[in-house]
């Protein structure tokens, strides 16, 4: 499994053609206390860069964009009842949704952990 | 999804260095570089203010002395009544009152606090409006009054159920004050006695105080207050969620030049003496419109709104009468998450046909119609010491 990152502060964990997506720890620290997460419906075909989810802090709402194109095959229902999980465990338990990868080449432009660290520094 | 913006031309309050030292996350607000939150975070800052005591820097707000040339506070009160629909003449010595400057159309130019300090009035106005307010006062009242802004004073709010106990250590007179009492008091900081103006009021729905203090003593007082274990510094983020839960208006959002005090559900702030049949009825800008609305009703009103579910419904979201109609009936003017009730809360304008508590209206959020219930405000009970 490989973990990749976007410039928009999302992480992707690639396992074959299934990609798990969440927001990074840096992103949650910038957002502050998360109070609501809206996730895409299972079965929705997302295009790369399309608004896929919404994460709301006390202060503001922020869009989470689909980092790659693909069909939503699973969502993290736990976030509905416990949105604060995004603050406490952004890069593991607080995953947002899983996509079935449509075009593997879209992964090419993404950053690895080291490049992302430099990007968010 | 994240953006930061730094503007070096922003003004700083006398507590700016303290905000930075305390890890304040600074944002531009009304021309000032202000802390939106500290490391504590908005949610905990909000809850702490309702449980202990929160310290807010509100030094960006305008403090203005209004003094009649005659030297009589009654003349200053009568002069100010030309610009606000409130009874200022009957405001007793040492008391404070909420007011609004109105325009010729009955809209609101700003909202403010007015206190009777015996030989003059003490006004606190919004930061974003203070230059216009000063000009407005000068333009209309300069023949009879002296308008003296106090730019060399900071304003510190200490809010929450522990505020009285904490402030008592610095200002022994504080606990005996009642809600909306205001006046000059000595505050003791590091062996010095400092001439302050203290009011028992605020913008959180909690008991608390606002302390006007000379700018060069502000940091010493703030530091001393923050040394108390029950006091945390609170940023603008929690200030907004606290006032929203308390049902209070944010000028420029919930009220502005296009809303009248009656539409804004601020009728309670207009005393009988200024209404039709009162001793000094009318005589303020827009009085024809405002008195007619008081007599006959307005067509819309600011109401509290409780969204069903957990999604916050924020400013600007359109409201509809049902799940399908295409014409909106109103708009959300403030909305977010209420940490103390652990649910989203909002306020907005609806037609009188939809203004009754319990009415269901629909917010259009990301392409979906979300039901919201018109609800009484405040959303969290006030905790004032009357």
Averaged pLDDT, A6-19: 96
Instruction: Enumerate the residues of chain B whose CB falls inside 8 A of the CB of residue A65.
Output: 1
| Residue located via tokens 């969204």 | B307
The reply to whether A7 touches chain B by the CB within 8 Å rule is no
Give the pairing of strands B231-233 and B53-57: parallel
For residue B1, what pLDDT is reported? 41
Sign of the CA dihedral B50, B55, B59, B62?
positive
Locate the chain A residue with the closest alpha carbon to B240: A59
The reply to whether A32 touches chain B by the CB within 8 Å rule is yes
DSSP string over B205-217 = SBSEEEEEEEHHH
pLDDT band at residue A121 using 50, 70 and 90 as cut-offs: confident
Query: Which of A8, A33, A54 is the closest to B43 by Cβ?
Result: A33
How close B166 gets to chain A, by Cα (Å)? 28
Q: Which of A6, A24, A58 to mutate to test the interface with B (most CBs of B within 10 A)?
A: A58
How close B39 gets to chain A, by Cα (Å)? 10
Instruction: Enumerate the residues of chain B whose CB falls inside 8 A of the CB of residue A119.
Output: none
B36 and A59 within 8 Å at the Cβ level: the answer is yes
Q: Is residue A75 part of a domain?
A: yes
- Using only C-alpha atoms, what is the Rg of chain B? 21
How close B331 gets to chain A, by Cα (Å)? 18
How close A18 gets to chain B, by Cα (Å)? 24
Token duo for residue B164: 């009285």
A36 and B310 within 8 Å at the Cβ level: the answer is yes
Instruction: Enumerate the residues of chain A whose CB falls inside 8 A of the CB of residue B344.
Output: 35-36
How close B17 gets to chain A, by Cα (Å)? 22
Domain holding A62, by residue range, is: 2-103
Instruction: Enumerate the residues of chain B whose CB falls inside 8 A of the CB of residue A32.
Output: 37, 41-43, 237
Q: Is the Cβ–Cβ distance between B129 and B72 less than 8 Å?
A: no
Q: Is the Cβ–Cβ distance between A80 and A23 less than 8 Å?
A: no
- Helix-then-strand count for chain A, H and E: 4, 9
Q: What is the mean pLDDT of chain A?
A: 95
| Residue located via tokens 């993404």 | A110
Token duo for residue B157: 């709010």
Longest dimension (CA), chain A: 37
The reply to whether A31 touches chain B by the CB within 8 Å rule is yes
Q: Is residue A113 part of a domain?
A: no
CB contacts < 8 A, A to B, total: 60
For residue B2, what pLDDT is reported? 44
For residue B21, what pLDDT is reported? 97
Q: How many CA atoms lie within 13 A of B270 on its CB side?
A: 30
How close B45 gets to chain A, by Cα (Å)? 11
B237 and A59 within 8 Å at the Cβ level: the answer is yes
Q: Is residue A114 part of a domain?
A: no
Distance between CA B160 and CA A2 in Å, rounded? 49
Domains identified in chain A, total number: 1
Instruction: Enumerate the residues of chain B whose CB falls inside 8 A of the CB of residue A36.
Output: 310-312, 337, 344
Tell whether omega for the bond before A15 is within 30 degrees of 0, i.e. cis: no
Token duo for residue B348: 């907005």
For residue A59, what pLDDT is reported? 83
Q: Is residue A115 part of a domain?
A: no
Instruction: Enumerate the residues of chain B whose CB falls inside 8 A of the CB of residue A38.
Output: 311, 366
How close B38 gets to chain A, by Cα (Å)? 10
How close A1 gets to chain B, by Cα (Å)? 26
Q: Which of A5, A10, A33 to mutate to test the interface with B (most CBs of B within 10 A)?
A: A33
A58 and B336 within 8 Å at the Cβ level: the answer is yes
Contacts 24+ apart (CB under 8 A), B353-358: B354/B321, B354/B329, B354/B330, B355/B300, B355/B301, B355/B303
How close A100 gets to chain B, by Cα (Å)? 23
The reply to whether A28 touches chain B by the CB within 8 Å rule is no
Q: Is residue A6 part of a domain?
A: yes
CATH of the domain at A91: 2.40.50.100
Q: Is residue A64 part of a domain?
A: yes
Instruction: Enumerate the residues of chain B whose CB falls inside 8 A of the CB of residue A57.
Output: 42
Instruction: Enumerate the residues of chain A whose CB falls inside 8 A of the CB of residue B311.
Output: 36, 38, 56
| pLDDT under 50: residue ranges of chain B | 1-5
- pLDDT of B40-79, one tens digit each? 999 999 999 999 999 999 999 999 999 999 999 999 999 9
For residue B8, what pLDDT is reported? 63
The residues of B whose Cβ lies within 8 A of any Cβ of A are: 1-2, 36-37, 41-44, 46, 237-238, 241, 310-312, 314, 336-337, 339, 344, 366
Q: Is residue A118 part of a domain?
A: no
The reply to whether A65 touches chain B by the CB within 8 Å rule is yes
Q: Is residue A48 part of a domain?
A: yes
Locate the chain B residue with the closest alpha carbon to A10: B1
Ordered by where they begin, the domains of chain B are 9-297 (3.30.1360.120), 299-380 (2.40.30.110)
């Amino acid at each position: 499994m490989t973990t990749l990152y976007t410039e928009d502060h999302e992480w992707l964990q690639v396992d074959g053609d299934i990609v798990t997506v969440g927001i990074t720890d840096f992103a949650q620290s910038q957002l502050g206390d998360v109070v609501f997460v809206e996730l895409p419906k299972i079965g929705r075909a997302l295009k790369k860069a399309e608004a896929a989810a919404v994460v709301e802090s006390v202060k503001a709402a922020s869009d989470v964009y689909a980092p790659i194109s693909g069909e939503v095959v699973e969502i993290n229902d736990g976030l509905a009842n416990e949105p604060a999980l995004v603050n406490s465990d952004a890069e593991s338990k607080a995953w947002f949704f899983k996509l079935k990868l449509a075009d593997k080449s879209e992964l090419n432009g993404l950053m690895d952990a080291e490049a992302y660290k430099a990007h968010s520094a | 999804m994240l953006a930061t913006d730094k503007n070096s031309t922003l003004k700083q309050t006398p507590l700016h260095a303290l905000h930075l030292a305390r890890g304040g996350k600074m944002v531009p607000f009304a021309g000032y570089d202000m802390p939106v939150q500290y490391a504590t975070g908005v949610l905990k800052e909000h809850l702490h203010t309702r449980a202990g005591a929160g310290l807010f820097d509100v030094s960006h707000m305008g403090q203005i002395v209004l003094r009649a040339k005659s030297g009589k506070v009654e003349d200053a009160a009568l002069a100010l009544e030309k610009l606000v629909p409130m009874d200022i003449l009957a405001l007793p010595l040492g008391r404070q009152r909420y007011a609004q400057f109105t325009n010729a159309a009955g809209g609101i130019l700003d909202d403010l606090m007015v206190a009777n300090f015996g030989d003059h009035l003490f006004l606190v106005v919004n930061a974003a409006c203070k230059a216009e307010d000063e000009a407005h006062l000068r333009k209309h009242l300069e023949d009879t009054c002296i308008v003296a802004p106090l730019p060399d004073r900071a304003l510190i709010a200490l809010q929450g159920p522990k505020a009285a106990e904490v402030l008592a250590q610095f200002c022994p007179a504080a606990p005996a004050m009642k809600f909306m009492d205001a006046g000059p008091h000595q505050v003791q900081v590091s062996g010095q006695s400092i001439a302050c103006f203290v009011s028992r009021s605020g913008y959180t729905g909690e008991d608390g105080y606002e302390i006007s203090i000379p700018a060069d003593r502000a940091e010493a007082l703030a530091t001393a207050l923050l040394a108390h274990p029950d006091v945390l510094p609170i940023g603008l983020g929690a200030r907004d969620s606290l006032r929203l839960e308390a049902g209070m208006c944010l000028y420029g959002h919930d009220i502005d030049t296009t809303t009248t005090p009656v539409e804004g559900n601020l009728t309670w702030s207009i005393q009988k003496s200024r209404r039709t049949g009162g001793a000094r009825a009318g005589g303020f800008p827009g009085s024809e419109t405002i008195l007619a609305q008081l007599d006959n009703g307005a067509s819309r009103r600011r109401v509290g709104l409780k969204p069903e579910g957990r999604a916050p419904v924020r400013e600007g979201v359109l409201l509809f009468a049902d799940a399908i109609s295409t014409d909106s009936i109103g708009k959300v003017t403030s909305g977010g998450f209420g940490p103390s009730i652990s649910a989203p809360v909002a306020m907005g304008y609806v037609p009188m046909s939809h203004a009754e508590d319990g009415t269901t209206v629909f917010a259009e959020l990301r392409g979906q119609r979300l039901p919201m219930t018109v609800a009484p405000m405040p959303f969290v009970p006030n905790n004032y010491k009357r």
